């Protein structure tokens, strides 16, 4: 699938639920209203949609959310997608998780064919972790990480950089990832969804963080790319990768290879734009995939050139009204 700018679309991210067992301060408001279950696709419908994308050349699927591992019966979908890994099918099935349920699921994920996961963790201090996630317990996530390691899953830690909150922990996180054998990616906070007035205060440009990190660590350039927005270095002292995702200070759209499906079957062609295509109507309209295939092709033809994120004290604190949990980051 080629979009109007010649980019090949080979990566689908699927938000399997908008619900979550955490309420991270940069992601959700405390009193979120979630979608009624009747609007959410069944796992069978999600599997059918993923199958259509795989037939059209998608090679990588990432499950996300909300928290993907709180969706009831999620292993049915993961097992079914895992069975599609192989020649002419998927090259990779992966997920992004907050780690709270990993202790229970790590071995099952590996058995299903998952080999790498991203785990979000913004602080190694138990109290700060709970205040950032509002409902999370650090010890539970650390236990999940141990289980994931024991199951043989490669782990990348995602850390959202929050000014004055966790920027003083970056050195510790880099050292810890080195000891544990994890890669680390720092992410600039993005203006998605109304979470209250604090957004401008949370934003830390990663150019500043990198300068501070380089006082302690040697960052060697690498040409490692995942087709995604992260720019990677190798930390010479630990040998692990350190990535920076900088949507606010550096536009990464020219190499974008991905589209995003919500749990209600809306396809977003760009994380930072509002345009979406409804794929739920075509799958519910007919058992044949003809209408669905046509809707996918039509949507890819509308993929925009790039996002318009701005965090500015003078402007509104939201660039797109959806919360990150809708399209899953
Ligand atoms: N619940 C899972 C998790 O936390 O990993 C998956 C969904 S979560 C929405 C995906 C990623 O988006 C997480 O790494 C999270 O930290 C990040 N995220 C959420 N809101 C964000 C925001 N406003 N700006 C930047 N990253 C955000
Ligand atoms: Fe939940 Fe992930 Fe959003 Fe945190 S970042 S509230 S864990 S969806």
Nearest CA owner, ligand 1 atom 1: 67
Task: Identify the nearest ligand to the CA of 132 by its number.
Answer: 2
Task: Identify the nearest ligand to the CA of 22 by its number.
Answer: 2
Q: What is the pLDDT of residue 86?
A: 95
Partner residues linked to 119 by β-bridges: 97, 157
Q: What is the pLDDT of residue 314?
A: 46
Measure 287 CA to ligand 1 centroid, in angstroms.
34
Q: What is the pLDDT of residue 322?
A: 64
81, burial (CB in 10 Å: exposed 0-12, middle 13-18, buried 19+): buried
Q: What is the pLDDT of residue 139?
A: 98
Pocket test for ligand 1, best of 105, 118, 120 (most atoms within 8 A of CB): 120
**Which residue, among 9, 7, 97, 3, has the nearest Cα to 54 in the 3D structure?**
9
Residues near 140 by Cβ (< 8 Å), separated by ≥ 6? 99, 100, 103
Partner residues linked to 157 by β-bridges: 119, 184
Class of domain 11-157+172-180+253-327: alpha beta
Q: What is the pLDDT of residue 51?
A: 97
**Whole-Å CA distances, 203 to 4, 10, 214, 228:** 32, 31, 20, 21
Measure 137 CA to ligand 2 centroid, in angstroms.
13
Pocket test for ligand 1, best of 27, 122, 173, 229 (most atoms within 8 A of CB): 27
CA pair distance 73, 315, nearest whole angstrom: 42
CA pseudo-torsion sign 203, 206, 210, 211: negative
Single pTM value for the model: 0.93
Q: What is the pLDDT of residue 289?
A: 95
CA pair distance 85, 80, nearest whole angstrom: 10
Measure 124 CA to ligand 2 centroid, in angstroms.
17
pLDDT < 70 positions in the chain: 192-200, 227, 248-252, 308-329
CA pair distance 88, 50, nearest whole angstrom: 14
From the CA of 20, give the closest atom in ligand 1.
Answer: 1
Q: What is the pLDDT of residue 44?
A: 97
From the CA of 65, give the closest atom in ligand 2.
Answer: 8
Q: Is any ligand 2 atom within 6 A of the Cβ of residue 97?
A: no
Extents of the domains making up the chain: 11-157+172-180+253-327
């Amino acid at each position: 699938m080629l979009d109007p700018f010649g980019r090949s679309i080979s990566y689908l991210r699927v938000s399997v639920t908008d619900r979550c067992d955490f309420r991270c301060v940069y992601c959700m408001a405390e009193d979120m209203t979630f979608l009624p279950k009747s609007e959410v696709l069944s796992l069978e419908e999600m599997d059918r949609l993923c199958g259509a994308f795989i037939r059209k050349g998608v090679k990588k699927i990432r499950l996300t959310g909300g928290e993907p591992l709180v969706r009831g019966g999620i292993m049915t979908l993961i097992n079914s997608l895992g069975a599609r890994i192989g020649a002419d099918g998927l090259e990779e099935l992966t997920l992004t998780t907050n780690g709270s349920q990993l202790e229970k699921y790590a071995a099952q994920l590996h058995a299903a064919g998952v080999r790498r996961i991203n785990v979000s963790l913004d602080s190694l201090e138990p109290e700060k972790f709970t205040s950032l996630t509002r409902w999370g317990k650090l010890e539970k996530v650390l236990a999940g990480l141990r289980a994931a390691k024991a199951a043989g899953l490669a782990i990348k830690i995602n850390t959202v950089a929050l000014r004055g909150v966790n920027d003083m922990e970056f050195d510790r996180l880099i050292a810890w990832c080195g000891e544990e054998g994890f890669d680390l990616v720092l992410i600039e906070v993005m203006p998605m969804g109304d979470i209250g007035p604090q957004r401008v205060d949370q934003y830390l440009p990663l150019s500043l963080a990198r300068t501070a990190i380089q006082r302690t660590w040697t960052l060697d350039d690498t040409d490692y790319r995942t087709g995604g927005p992260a720019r990677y270095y190798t930390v010479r002292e630990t040998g692990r990768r350190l990535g920076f995702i900088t949507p606010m200070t550096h536009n990464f759209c020219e190499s974008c290879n991905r589209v995003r499906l919500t749990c209600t079957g809306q396809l977003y062609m760009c994380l930072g734009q509002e345009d979406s295509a409804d794929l739920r109507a075509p799958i519910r309209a007919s058992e044949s995939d003809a209408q669905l295939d046509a809707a996918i092709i039509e949507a890819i033809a509308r993929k925009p050139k790039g996002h318009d994120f701005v965090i500015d004290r003078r402007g509104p604190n939201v660039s797109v009204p959806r919360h990150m949990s809708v399209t899953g980051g």
